[in-house]
Structure 1
Amino acid sequence: MDLDINRIHFTSYCWALGTTSFRMKKFNYMIEKQLELIDDFFKLPENKDKKWEGNTELQIRYYDYLKDKKFITGDAARKDKDARQKTSGLVDLGLITSNRRLTDVGQKLVEISKSGIYKIKNDNFFGIDRDSYIYMLQLLKYTTENNIKPFVVLIKILNDLDYITNEEFIFILPLVTSKEVASDVVDNIKKLRAGFFNINDIIIDLIWKMDNYQAGFEYFLHHEPTEETFMLINMNRKSPEKYEVQYADLYKRLVEVYVEENNESIIKLYRAIQNLSGKPRIYWKNLIFGRATERQITNKPLCYLKENKLSTLKDEYGIKKYIYEMIHLYKWKSTLKDYFDLNRRYFKLSDIIIFQDGKVTLSLLAKEYFKYCIDDYFKQSFNQSENFDKMVSIEKILGSSTPDMDYVYTDVAAYFDEEYIEPNEIQNYVENERLKKFNHIIDEKFDNEHLLKILQWFENRTDSSLNSYITDNADVPTMFEYILGIIWYKLSGRRGNILDFMNLSLDADLLPKTHAGGGEADIVYKYEETSAYPAHELLLEATLADDSNQRRMEFEPVSRHLMRNLMQTNNLNNYAVLVSTNIHPSVISDFRSRANSEQTLDNVSYFDGIKILPIDTRVLKNFITSSKKYKDIYKLFNEAYLSNITLRNGWYEKEIIEKSRK
């Protein structure tokens, strides 16, 4: 056989953003916080002039610095390697240099983070947070080593198809590595949805188009299925002698069971599958045995052996071709599955990509904007970007592809059935659209039954359940505030714009995200005058601090926030409520004392008592189960505030807990 064996080698078939070692929860927070820390680290005299690359001592020192600042926990076996991995994603995003110093882009993010001001109305056309806009610009420039711009690929595909499913996002999108493949993929997805073939067919088709896989199969056809053969044709760059030799036994057992119909080999086939490593083992197990256990297979092997294409193949070519396809199909799918979470986290940084209801879509304004430029920009995007580490405008990034905004504004107006909308008014229309979407999310995800369960998770600090059900891009205190906002919105009959009332950053899916920067974390709910209460504002403060920490952390801020609000609005009907999973007695005592004592912030404005009421999550649950309306809650709070019952006589239990049940 005249075959150049050098053709059989691994060649990249997909892209991924960043590296799997940079996969983190609370992604926004972790990026921003580490940018601040790395900036501070290199400002230290002993680090200021040091080079990063090849400097093991400096890298170890940085790891220890992160640990000292409580950014990381535990002890890495190789601190220098861990330090490199922790920062690699920041280099990939153009936020720091390879020498680990902040770029212009990184500096801007730190500036925003330290200011705590993430949202400024009409700051950008897309209506996204200031940091998200920077991430969006970076992602438009982000280019892999193979000159692929994944974010541009995604926008291009979404523009062509309107949406892609989660499965298409995972298994097909990252396979777009050229203009030609992009066109094929769009056509194939249309055929997929029409039922002509499935995801596996698309992947297998792409496998056979690659020369190295053609060469691998040609070699396989003319050689015995030995361990050495599979070490070569499986094209594993990392330890093939460890991970690929098992496929020789798998091949042998597959032929024995399906071709030779040797039933005694069924359990041997099961064990051969179990000897495989990683996710391919799961795919093979599902293909051959479904969900059957080893005991079931041992007792009734034929009952649990699934029908397979192999049993219809008798010639060596067909057998080898099918097994070869399945080996590489499952390897590809395993790799693509591994990259899914990382790709999603990076794309979500932009806040224009929506992952919801099993689909991936563009936000409204992004869709209207990019439809006028993405085709042209995509065609010329297969090269490394200039100014990747510089703050440049979107117009400079897109160059000649930049859309005419008059067309964009016209289409946005048409979407809202308007002839024309002033550019500075577009955000108001979009906010109304977001509020409708938020109400849909509440109906689908946060009904009363789920809210009661979620409050229980907060009380028990079942953080894994909270991360799984709400989001893993926010810390637990941020999620607590988010849920409190939703509960209060429902108690208030969904009046007002809760998205304005909550001083939270929400992603494109309207889920909370945690930032490194501060800013006041109050929920300021604004009520218009009714027959039940005067016009007023309610400051909702959420805390998970307990014991003595609760008094130290919340007593002064809550009082200060309320007094500042009273000074700004000149409305003495405004009041505050502190909500926690457990209210410490000292906090109840302190806030109760504020009702009748003179208060001031500046020795200019004085208040003869301020109204602050503490409640715990038991009260919230009572409000939910008793179907309380805000007018009832306002009356309850007002009566509790004016009550003459003392603390020692059970003010909190009698005025708050007991009445919340009625």
Structure 2
Amino acid sequence: MYDYFGNTSLRVKHLLYNFESQLLLFEELFKNAGKNDTWSNDSSLQMQYLELLQAHNLLENRNKSKDLGTKDARVKSAPLEDFNLINRKEKLITKQGYELLSLIKNQAYKIDNDFLQMDLISLFFLKASLNFKKSENLLLKYLEIFRIYKGELSKELFIFLPLINNFKDAKSFIKAFNEKTIFKTLLPKKDLELFLKDLKEQSFRVDYFKTAKGDNTAHNIILTLKEVFLKYQKSKDKKIFENFLQERQKFTLFKRLYLAFITAKKKKEDKIKDLTHFTEAKDFNENFFELIFKARIMNNLKDYFDLNQRYLSLCGIFEFSADKVSLSEIFKLILRHSKFKELLEKLAFKPTSKELLSEYFEDKEFKEFFKEKNIFSLKDLKTYKKEQELKRLKNLVEKKFSKENLLYILSLFEDRKNDDELMNLVSKEATIPTIFEYVIALVWHYIDENNLERILQANLSLDNELLPKSHALGGEADFVYPYESHSLMIEVSLTQRANQRRAEMESVSRHLGNLLLSLEPSKAKQSFAIFIAPYLDKNVLNDFRSRIYCYFENEQNFIKGMHILPLSTRDLAHILRSNLSYKELLPKFYELFKDKEDFGSKWYKESISKMIQDLGVKNELQ
């Protein structure tokens, strides 16, 4: 009855990261599997996979009992098979799976397809969704609905898409939706007839209300029908409804699942009026059955909407907002094309690459479409995409990431117990380190005179909502911002104490050294790095300050000395609160670098911290 993307048994954080990580684990698992190892219930191979999931923090349930473990191993890996990435019984990675592995290892999220202007990992998931094994041509059917509505659906219509295969074609589905006959079309007529017959005889069975999860809900429906609705029909005593609303055990299940479909009122008196009207209606018997059926469909559809949103977001073409779901402006052009099915077929079966569909730059129809948007070259197309992103980014920042909000978010990084709140406030599709990088980029855009491009230049992978997403294999986490007289490198870290010493002491200076060697000598002299972390280790501070004396070289050149400015998240919050711009801060930073104090922790405490505390507040927060 329902066709959707994803798996209701699998609710994971960081979906893309989870997909990529699991595929890398299966590569390891299958490579080491013996000839006699089998992927079957309770098998040692499934237990080995469970242990890999646990070792890589991909399994939230830590119960190591065999039954639970093998079930978890099967359920968590099922979507990879649905997307034709693995074949667990054959113990192999598919051709499509190897394509994704190659993209992951080559960090293809940093490479855009020229024609669609989307990163290659997103393009791969668009391809995989077009080849979705669980329901043939499902994405194509969804896209046909989008095509009819010129690339934009109301949220309500999108929610109903999992019902599409119950109809002959897209037009009949839309007709039923517009005429509000979807529920009547799908109503199980035989069960309705049986229910009406039993109602006359006052002899009920649970069969017509049973679900895949059992008959507990069905029993509660029959109980509520008999002791509330039918009882009222006989006595007309409104105290029955009053007791029904107040009762906290017997009818709780019915009220939780179905009451909202009878009344949405807040006051008890208004609820009783609606219940009375519903029960006294001429067609109560049919209405009651339809109510249960409609409520179940709607509750399921809301569940599947969440899955569809998360999985289709991987494709890089869907934009979700409060009241609608849209396709990206460039992908709307694909659906406008007279040969859109041929184009989608190429996306589904051709290798994922930067050049895929590039031949259509010379297509007559696309030239006309591009002309409407003043696009005459690849450069124009890139500019158009960037302008679209900046507009959407401006709206996102205004709605979600004001200075006040960012100050609060920054404070949450000081305690890892706040991880769930951070994901709720920023994105559930990114790990906390990725969220930290994104938040620092947002803060820096404010410091740099509201320059939105700083967010796009931060070397981050963003989804179609321009929120961060994490990958199993990441690259360098530093941002490099070019200015007229210098370049600024910002490197961020959530590491603490010994971990910070191991992870950052060598890498930050190496990244900065390589950057300085790549610049003109005059520009290199003015360039520096800022290191930002919630916690600053004293010996990391000492190491960073000692770099003013160090040589760094490659095969062609060398530099002597480099400047690294350490800031805690509290320091950054003070800077943001001060409303001083980067232009105004830069001379203060250069003064700090000239300071004669070379004892790092002392330099930080007596010079850097003091300068930041003395900043004051220039204007009110905007």
Q: Deviations over 1:223-247 (max 9, x none)?
A: 138998452222523422x331111
Amino acid at match of 1:422: S
1:81 aligned to which of 61, 67, 71 = 71
Name the counterpart of 1:433.
Answer: 388
1:659 aligned to which of 605, 611, 617 = 611
Q: Deviations over 1:593-612 (max 9, x none)?
A: 112x1222447533221011
Within the alignment, does 1:618 sit opposite 2:618 as a pair?
no
- Structure 2: how far apart are the matches of 1:206 and 1:235? 21
Is contact 2:261–2:291 with CA below 8 Å preserved after alignment?
A: no
Within the alignment, does 1:183 sit opposite 2:171 as a pair?
yes
Q: Which of 326-335 and 254-263 deviates more? A: 254-263
Is contact 1:41–1:47 with CA below 8 Å preserved after alignment?
A: no
Instruction: State how 1:510-521 maps to structure 2 within 5 Å.
Output: 510-521=466-477
In structure 1, the gaps of 5 or more residues are 1-11, 192-200, 529-534
Q: How much has 1:167 moved relative to structure 2?
A: 3.5
Q: Which of 265-274 and 61-70 deviates more? A: 265-274
Within the alignment, does 1:38 sit opposite 2:26 as a pair?
yes
- Structure 2: how far apart are the matches of 1:404 and 1:150? 30
1:605 aligned to which of 557, 570, 576 = 557
Amino acid at match of 1:642: K
SS of match in other structure, 1:600: strand
Within the alignment, does 1:313 sit opposite 2:288 as a pair?
no
1:166 aligned to which of 152, 155, 160 = 155
Is contact 1:527–1:537 with CA below 8 Å preserved after alignment?
A: yes
Is contact 1:537–1:574 with CA below 8 Å preserved after alignment?
A: yes
Instruction: State how 1:295-334 maps to structure 2 within 5 Å.
Output: 305-308=272-275, 310-311=277-278, 313=280, 315=282, 318-334=283-299
- Structure 2: how far apart are the matches of 1:519 and 1:312? 63
- Structure 2: how far apart are the matches of 1:429 and 1:628? 32
Name the counterpart of 1:467.
Answer: 423
- Structure 2: how far apart are the matches of 1:208 and 1:345? 29
Q: Deviations over 1:310-361 (max 9, x none)?
A: 457355xx11111111111111111112222211111011111111243210
Is contact 2:82–2:134 with CA below 8 Å preserved after alignment?
A: no
Within the alignment, does 1:589 sit opposite 2:542 as a pair?
yes
Q: How much has 1:91 moved relative to structure 2?
A: 0.2
Is contact 2:546–2:598 with CA below 8 Å preserved after alignment?
A: no
In structure 2, the gaps of 5 or more residues are 616-622
Within the alignment, does 1:338 sit opposite 2:293 as a pair?
no
Q: How much has 1:520 moved relative to structure 2?
A: 1.1
Within the alignment, does 1:18 sit opposite 2:6 as a pair?
yes
Name the counterpart of 1:234.
Answer: 209
Amino acid at match of 2:124: I
Within the alignment, does 1:206 sit opposite 2:182 as a pair?
yes
Instruction: State how 1:517-536 maps to structure 2 within 5 Å.
Output: 517-528=473-484, 535-536=485-486
- Structure 1: how far apart are the matches of 2:422 and 2:202? 46
- Structure 1: how far apart are the matches of 2:17 and 2:368? 37
Q: Deviations over 1:77-112 (max 9, x none)?
A: 421111111110000011112424211111121122
Amino acid at match of 2:337: Y
SS of match in other structure, 2:206: helix
Cα separation, partners in 2 of 1:181 and 1:319, compared to 1, 3 Å: farther
Name the counterpart of 1:532.
Answer: none
Amino acid at match of 1:539: M
Cα separation, partners in 2 of 1:592 and 1:511, compared to 1, 3 Å: same
Q: How much has 1:207 moved relative to structure 2?
A: 2.7
Within the alignment, does 1:284 sit opposite 2:234 as a pair?
no
Q: How much has 1:630 moved relative to structure 2?
A: 0.5
- Structure 1: how far apart are the matches of 2:420 and 2:465? 20
Name the counterpart of 2:459.
Answer: 503
Q: How much has 1:392 moved relative to structure 2?
A: 4.6
Cα separation, partners in 2 of 1:268 and 1:391, compared to 1, 3 Å: farther
SS of match in other structure, 2:165: coil
2:85 aligned to which of 71, 95, 117 = 95
- Structure 1: how far apart are the matches of 2:448 and 2:480? 13
Name the counterpart of 1:580.
Answer: 533
2:105 aligned to which of 91, 107, 114 = 114
Name the counterpart of 2:406.
Answer: 451
Is contact 1:524–1:539 with CA below 8 Å preserved after alignment?
A: yes
Cα separation, partners in 2 of 1:120 and 1:304, compared to 1, 3 Å: closer
Q: How much has 1:374 moved relative to structure 2?
A: 7.7
Q: How much has 1:635 moved relative to structure 2?
A: 1.4
Q: Deviations over 1:533-592 (max 9, x none)?
A: xx2111111111112211211111111111111112233122111101121222211111
Amino acid at match of 2:397: I
- Structure 2: how far apart are the matches of 1:84 and 1:487? 42
Name the counterpart of 1:8.
Answer: none
Cα separation, partners in 2 of 1:92 and 1:143, compared to 1, 3 Å: closer
Is contact 1:540–1:576 with CA below 8 Å preserved after alignment?
A: yes
Within the alignment, does 1:539 sit opposite 2:527 as a pair?
no
Name the counterpart of 1:356.
Answer: 321
SS of match in other structure, 2:490: strand
Q: Deviations over 1:494-546 (max 9, x none)?
A: 34732542111101111100001121111111112xxxxxx211111111111
Cα separation, partners in 2 of 1:332 and 1:375, compared to 1, 3 Å: farther
TM-score (norm: length of structure 1)? 0.83
Amino acid at match of 1:421: F
Cα separation, partners in 2 of 1:48 and 1:552, compared to 1, 3 Å: farther
Could you tell me the percent identity over the aligned residues? 26
- Structure 2: how far apart are the matches of 1:653 and 1:87? 50
Within the alignment, does 1:261 sit opposite 2:217 as a pair?
no
Q: How much has 1:474 moved relative to structure 2?
A: 0.2
SS of match in other structure, 1:525: strand
Q: How much has 1:441 moved relative to structure 2?
A: 1.4
Is contact 1:132–1:350 with CA below 8 Å preserved after alignment?
A: yes
- Structure 2: how far apart are the matches of 1:140 and 1:539? 40
Amino acid at match of 1:553: A
1:569 aligned to which of 484, 505, 519 = 519
2:46 aligned to which of 54, 59, 62 = 59
Name the counterpart of 1:4.
Answer: none
Is contact 1:115–1:518 with CA below 8 Å preserved after alignment?
A: no
- Structure 1: how far apart are the matches of 2:153 and 2:222? 38
- Structure 1: how far apart are the matches of 2:552 and 2:460? 28
Cα separation, partners in 2 of 1:604 and 1:277, compared to 1, 3 Å: farther
1:494 aligned to which of 441, 450, 453 = 450
Name the counterpart of 1:406.
Answer: 364
Is contact 2:426–2:435 with CA below 8 Å preserved after alignment?
A: yes
Is contact 2:517–2:558 with CA below 8 Å preserved after alignment?
A: no
Within the alignment, does 1:249 sit opposite 2:223 as a pair?
yes
Within the alignment, does 1:139 sit opposite 2:129 as a pair?
yes
SS of match in other structure, 1:505: coil
Name the counterpart of 2:620.
Answer: none
Q: How much has 1:61 moved relative to structure 2?
A: 2.3
Is contact 1:112–1:131 with CA below 8 Å preserved after alignment?
A: yes
Q: State the number of aligned residues.
A: 600
Cα separation, partners in 2 of 1:226 and 1:271, compared to 1, 3 Å: farther
- Structure 2: how far apart are the matches of 1:243 and 1:227? 19
- Structure 2: how far apart are the matches of 1:483 and 1:449? 13
Name the counterpart of 2:336.
Answer: 371
TM-score (norm: length of structure 2)? 0.88
Amino acid at match of 1:139: S
- Structure 2: how far apart are the matches of 1:120 and 1:95? 21
Name the counterpart of 1:442.
Answer: 397
Is contact 2:505–2:543 with CA below 8 Å preserved after alignment?
A: yes
Q: Deviations over 1:113-142 (max 9, x none)?
A: 222242224x34211111111110111222
